[in-house]
Amino acid sequence: MLEASFLNLSDRCPTDGVVSVWPAWEVREDRGSTSWFTVRLAFPDGARVDALAVVSEGCVSLEDVRALPALSLDDLAVLADWIEEPIFEASGLAPEPAGDPAPGRRARPTWPRGLEGRRLVAEEYRAAQEDGYDPVLAVMHATGHSRRRTLRLISQARDAGYLTPGHARR
């Protein structure tokens, strides 16, 4: 049986890796510009992630990602959190401070990663259920993540044993 090996960014600390950002190219338009950056996240154990990121209208998007060893889909969202600030610094756009978000944007609350984060997700989920609120919306509000990322966090909390299975298997 073939066993896959993944990088597992969620189990690592951001200070373990080094993020390097280099400008690749820029396209200027009438009212603004779009910039591409080459990004490398390297770890002392030889693991690394190379990405092509785009900054347009103050938003960062990933166009291409290559990782050695492979990067799981869950860790793709974690990667965005790790590289967003260095990309903003390289592009000359500073992320807004947590207390003073830009209009139309809100600051994401800090949320612990790994088992501690999964335990807190489970606590938020159960508290919302007991109070009669939508538990997914409660976790979304607490973490500041999208619905898709929140559902992944809830699933990870279930897999870790902090929540009961969502439905009976046949």
Res 3: pLDDT: 44
Residues 6+ apart with CB under 8 A from 55: 34, 35, 36, 37, 87, 88, 91, 93
pLDDT tens digits along 128-159? 999 888 898 888 888 888 888 888 899 999 98
More confident: 123 or 77? 123
Res 98: pLDDT: 46
pLDDT tens digits along 100-111? 444 444 555 677
Q: Is residue 66 within 8 Å of 50, Cβ to Cβ?
A: yes
pLDDT tens digits along 33-71? 888 999 999 988 888 999 999 888 778 888 999 998 888
CA distances for 148 relative to 13, 71, 116, angstroms: 23, 18, 20
- β partners of residue 19: 41
Res 94: pLDDT: 61
* Count of CB atoms situated within 10 Å of the CB of 137: 12
* Count of CB atoms situated within 10 Å of the CB of 53: 24
Q: Please state the domain extents for the chain.
A: 9-91, 114-159
Q: Is residue 5 within 8 Å of 21, Cβ to Cβ?
A: no
